[in-house]
Structure 1
Amino acid sequence: MNTHQPIDHTGMPLAAPSGNNVDVIIVGLGPTGATAANLLGQRGISTLIVERDDTIYPRQRAIASDEDAHRVWQGLGLLEGMLKTMSSDIRVHFKHGKRTFVSMQGNESRDQGVPGTAFYHQPELERILREGIRRFPTVQVMGGVEAVALTQDANSATVTLRPVEGGPDQTVTGRYVIACDGGSSSIRKLVGIGLPGRHIEEQWFDIQLRAWYDLPPEAPLDFTFISDPKRPGVDCPCPMGYHRVEFRVNKGETVEQLQTEAGLRGLLAERGIDYDKVEIFRSWGYTFHIRQAERWRDGRVFLAGDAAHIMPPFAGQGVSSGVRDVANLCWKLDAALSSAGGSDLLESYEPERRPNVEQLTKFSLGIGGIVMLGSTLASNMRDAAFMTAAKIPLLGDWLTGIGLKPLYRLGTTGGFFTRTPVRRSLRGDFIKQPWVSVANHTPVRLDTVLGNGWTWVGFPESPIPERLAAAGVAEIKLDYASSIADHKVPAGRYVDTERILERQMRRSRVHGLLVRPDRFIFGGDRELTSADIERVASAVVPNLPLTAQAS
């Protein structure tokens, strides 16, 4: 296939791919690409990842992930290991001078069964994701090459790769390509997709320190927005001995000046940090972009993560948004590769994901607006408004909890869901993830038994429709907690002891839900039509055994 020896994420030589044809080519091995590789590997899909760098980028660019990403990583069998080096007890503060005008808890997850927020050291996160790829013999990684050309036809796409350090070009062909190669994506440019939006001229400056305190993973982490018109910024203790401080670059200042010893001393002094008592690991300047690709697909090429959308950093949603993208896309690629009806699913990728990205972009801009008010008068009025609101019953709970963050629902216009929704339909919502009890009294998280395919989750009055069962849809049989005497759970059944699923279904007056492989609800029992059932049956890929998820 080539003369350039593939390199895996640790710099160890890999055996050359056995041929120049794979099912999926992933370009880019950041968190989005590495998550996609794990998702495809879990499904046994032949995958080649190409990455310009041979080693993990050492700078801590992103620091946060949320419940949506955590639930994906949980399904990959990686979250438990990640949490050992993450901080997941997060408190977020907005501070002006000595006044903290609002504080929020970051561990709520809207009953998804995983931490609502976690902070990490990005190189360590990427290491765990890349180690996860090793489990899957169908996935191979090639480092030290960049994509320089792409052609495609009705059946495949061919990417031309050029060794970064010189050497002959080589080609690899895949049925599909996922561009996870960041905001300057070469793949996006090669297929001619524009990235309209705007550039925020205001410049910011980051300093990454070796921390001067001990912060074990189980310790609470206090993330602070410095909401001062004189110099807004961020202060964030991080896991693994790091601390990150961010500052707006004020008029008359330059990044070059701030990176001198005098500049660094002055900035750190503003936060009460003694330059002589810390180790400065890295510092850099950056500006913000707000952009979305004109379209997220070109034939057999799909954009994901920053290649498809770039949002301001205030809400910490960059990595999680990329994970959401590939979690939505990869099971659909599996269906397109494996079933006659699966190709129609691919049309739903962008319509389902784009609305959430647009919401989160507005949310992030809103947080930035709170932090970066330009006058002392406006800042004092903001402080008073938030402090008053936090004291009002219900409103205060909403404000200091997860209420401000948009609920992750998929776009249903153009999405793959039932076409006849009832009032208060749950289509496009996550199925919640409670603890469920089984026959041996051991509680397990719902996703442990959901597997990675289509699943019918229903109470006794709503068994799985025969056509879905025949197509290979799995079934989870629920019993009501109130109907189980002496906590004896019948074999083959599960009890929602917290009644979380019971309450979720009651909202829509249904007793059974058809759940997609990505944990989103296709529809409830009282809204499914025979046409809906046939659409799903034609796109079903049989569930892999649960042991294959983490083998």
Structure 2
Amino acid sequence: MFDVAVIGLGPVGATLANLLAAYGLSVAVLEREATPYALPRAVHFDAECMRVFDAIGVAGEVGAACHVSPGMKFLNAGGQLLVDWPRPPEVGAQGWHASYRFHQPDLERILRARLAAQPGATVHLRCEVYAIEAAAERATVRYEDLRCGRLAAIEAAYVIGADGARSLVRRLIGSEMEDLGLHERWLVFDALLKRPWSVLGDHSVQFCDPARPATYVRGVGERRRFEIMLHAGEDAAEMARPETVWSLISRWMTPEDADLERATVYTFHALVAQRWRHGRLLLAGDSAHQTPPFLGQGLCAGLRDAANLAWKLAAVLRHGAPETLLDSYQEERAPHVGEYIRLAVELGRIIQARDPDEVAERDRTLASAPRLLRSLSPRLGPSALRLAQPASGTVAAQPLLADGQRLDCAAAQSFAVLARPGLLPADTAAALQQRLPYPLAVITEGSAPVQACLDALQAAALVIRPDRYVYGAAADLPGLQALLASLGQALRPDAQALAACRP
């Protein structure tokens, strides 16, 4: 009997399993394949994702395998700059760089190695799930061991489907996908440089050319990626042939510059599952949503799912929080990821514009107002854990504390109160911790980074959730006490739930 079973050991499933184990839950992971997929897929994540990796103790190793991206440029057919989206080279407000490029097989190996060291985690490789039977108090996951054909089963309090776009768990939940309106075929190919090459530099480039829209991505090390939109009627197998691939990028790169690692055709989709939870079954990552790659947020969205869901499962299974807390997962995450997907669709329409009048209007509008990407600042959707405050539901900044620690390290897996000096007498700080049926770290200091963080929100104190989103801001001690009282109400355990928790 496990607390949680995770179906799928891709980056989202592996991150979620690591987080659950870090919260002290027992977790079983079932994965059909023996090893990570050897070729590149996702290539970008952001500062928020690095905070998640930091929470499971792999940020340093992951960062060492990454390239910090300077940003993205959008060019029209004549080479005119339509949008410049620079990413600052210095560490940002969240304590990490804004944009990272990575090689997915490297990331997966790091996550799997960390999971193997977690005492509460059990990994079953070459095991294919074929049925899940949910009962009142547990779910039974039935699977086949593909190494020998043996049929077996495990039991868990909850089952999370991190099993990708063709999710079995989503089908068992009975959830259809909401179509947000983009379905286009693109040829994606990765190259490995074999000599110095700097034609397109380190920025990602979106070539908004109506004759053949294309994308260039500078990967880690010698890796470079190109994505090219296919025309209607073009044969996918023919377009993926090496001769065709090289002909499409001959103005930038030739076989003398690089070796072709792989070429394949994807159909980009924009989809969100209508239902993310049914009783003891839940979805995360691509099983819950799919986005076109134009914003580089596909993996980021899945890792945000993992961070949001993990602490709530811990609250229910370890601290007796009401099971209805899990309903806030979709309430918060679906609108949040939907905003990112809709912007990716809008960018896709800009990049893929083909009609001459539409292209001309796009070039005029964007060249005079390159503001599109700077306006993105989504909040979590309305839930019992989001207040009617501007800061509530936004990702918290991460100031460096006076002792050199990052805020996240000091808070660990807890809620955190970040307060100005003098707001909390010592006995009051201890009393605050008694108000919440969940671990609480109280951090009071007057360092410049902390004061700047509080000044930005005009607050004397912040209450920050374990997934590092702001629960609420307070102007004084009574306001902080009221925040914790309302939070305690949302997390308050009932006697039956508390009795079911393990000590």
Q: Secondary structure at the match of 1:287?
A: strand
Within 5 A, what are the aligned runs for 1:279-358? 279-358=259-338
In structure 2, what is the equivalent of residue 146 of structure 1?
Answer: 128
In structure 2, what is the equivalent of residue 504 of structure 1?
Answer: 456
Q: 1:228 to 1:68 in 2, by over 3 A?
A: same
Matched, 1:126 2:108: yes
Kindly state the Cα deviation for residue 62 of structure 1 after the two structures are TM-superposed: 1.0
Contact 2:19 2:55 in 1 (8 A): no
In structure 2, what is the equivalent of residue 175 of structure 1?
Answer: 157
Question: CA–CA distance in 2 between the matches of 1:533 and 1:95?
Answer: 48
Aligned with 1:460 (options 406, 409, 421): 421
Question: CA–CA distance in 2 between the matches of 1:102 and 1:466?
Answer: 51
Question: CA–CA distance in 2 between the matches of 1:308 and 1:497?
Answer: 37
Q: 1:239 to 1:477 in 2, by over 3 A?
A: closer
Aligned with 1:251 (options 232, 249, 252): 232
Kindly state the Cα deviation for residue 498 of structure 1 after the two structures are TM-superposed: 6.3
Q: Normalising to structure 2: TM-score of the pair?
A: 0.89
Q: Secondary structure at the match of 1:130?
A: helix
Matched, 1:428 2:393: yes
Gaps of 5+ in 2: 495-503
Q: Secondary structure at the match of 2:205?
A: strand
Q: How many residues align?
A: 481
Q: C-alpha root-mean-square deviation of aligned residues, in Å?
A: 2.6
Q: Secondary structure at the match of 2:157?
A: strand
Matched, 1:522 2:483: no
Instruction: Report Cα offsets for 1:478-523 as digits up to 9, x if no partner.
Output: 333xxxxxxxxxxxxxx244632221341xxx31222221112222
In structure 1, what is the equivalent of residue 499 of structure 2?
Answer: none
In structure 2, what is the equivalent of residue 241 of structure 1?
Answer: 222
Contact 1:147 1:159 in 2 (8 A): yes
Question: CA–CA distance in 1 between the matches of 2:487 and 2:64?
Answer: 42
Contact 1:89 1:220 in 2 (8 A): no
In structure 1, what is the equivalent of residue 244 of structure 2?
Answer: 263
Q: Secondary structure at the match of 2:269?
A: strand
Kindly state the Cα deviation for residue 244 of structure 1 after the two structures are TM-superposed: 0.9
Q: 1:465 to 1:72 in 2, by over 3 A?
A: same
Q: Secondary structure at the match of 1:444?
A: coil
Kindly state the Cα deviation for residue 146 of structure 1 after the two structures are TM-superposed: 1.2
In structure 2, what is the equivalent of residue 407 of structure 1?
Answer: 377
Kindly state the Cα deviation for residue 36 of structure 1 after the two structures are TM-superposed: 0.4
Aligned with 2:445 (options 475, 479, 484): 479
Q: 1:461 to 1:212 in 2, by over 3 A?
A: same
Aligned with 1:449 (options 402, 410, 423): 410
Aligned with 1:538 (options 476, 485, 492): 492
Question: CA–CA distance in 2 between the matches of 1:214 and 1:177?
Answer: 48
Question: CA–CA distance in 2 between the matches of 1:372 and 1:72?
Answer: 33
Question: CA–CA distance in 1 between the matches of 2:398 and 2:37?
Answer: 34
Q: Normalising to structure 1: TM-score of the pair?
A: 0.81
Kindly state the Cα deviation for residue 473 of structure 1 after the two structures are TM-superposed: 4.3
The amino acid that maps onto 1:416 is L
Contact 2:418 2:461 in 1 (8 A): yes
In structure 2, what is the equivalent of residue 545 of structure 1?
Answer: none
Contact 1:44 1:136 in 2 (8 A): no
Within 5 A, what are the aligned runs for 1:13-412? 21-97=1-77, 98-107=79-88, 111-164=93-146, 167-197=149-179, 200-213=182-195, 221-269=202-250, 271-390=251-370, 403-404=374-375, 406-411=376-381
Contact 2:173 2:277 in 1 (8 A): no
The amino acid that maps onto 1:515 is I
Gaps of 5+ in 1: 1-20, 391-397, 481-494, 541-551
Kindly state the Cα deviation for residue 201 of structure 1 after the two structures are TM-superposed: 4.7
Contact 1:425 1:524 in 2 (8 A): no
Kindly state the Cα deviation for residue 379 of structure 1 after the two structures are TM-superposed: 2.8
Contact 1:467 1:537 in 2 (8 A): no
In structure 1, what is the equivalent of residue 497 of structure 2?
Answer: none
Question: CA–CA distance in 2 between the matches of 1:141 and 1:410?
Answer: 32
Q: Secondary structure at the match of 2:110?
A: helix
Question: CA–CA distance in 2 between the matches of 1:458 and 1:181?
Answer: 41
Question: CA–CA distance in 2 between the matches of 1:511 and 1:530?
Answer: 14
Kindly state the Cα deviation for residue 134 of structure 1 after the two structures are TM-superposed: 2.3
Instruction: Report Cα offsets for 1:396-437 as digits up to 9, x if no partner.
Output: xx55xx613x224212x223245xx4xx44221222112221
Question: CA–CA distance in 2 between the matches of 1:154 and 1:477?
Answer: 40
Contact 2:160 2:283 in 1 (8 A): yes
Question: CA–CA distance in 1 between the matches of 2:416 and 2:243?
Answer: 61
Q: Secondary structure at the match of 2:270?
A: strand
Question: CA–CA distance in 1 between the matches of 2:71 and 2:448?
Answer: 30
Contact 2:193 2:257 in 1 (8 A): no
Kindly state the Cα deviation for residue 533 of structure 1 after the two structures are TM-superposed: 5.0
Kindly state the Cα deviation for residue 307 of structure 1 after the two structures are TM-superposed: 0.6
Q: 1:264 to 1:169 in 2, by over 3 A?
A: same
Q: Provide runs of 4+ in structure 1 moved above 4 Å.
A: 198-201, 213-216, 464-467
In structure 2, what is the equivalent of residue 486 of structure 1?
Answer: none
Instruction: Report Cα offsets for 1:314-366 as digits up to 9, x if no partner.
Output: 11111000000010000111111112224332121110111111101111011
Q: 1:429 to 1:102 in 2, by over 3 A?
A: closer
In structure 1, what is the equivalent of residue 385 of structure 2?
Answer: 416
Contact 1:478 1:496 in 2 (8 A): no
Kindly state the Cα deviation for residue 531 of structure 1 after the two structures are TM-superposed: 4.7
Kindly state the Cα deviation for residue 145 of structure 1 after the two structures are TM-superposed: 1.3
Question: CA–CA distance in 2 between the matches of 1:114 and 1:220?
Answer: 23
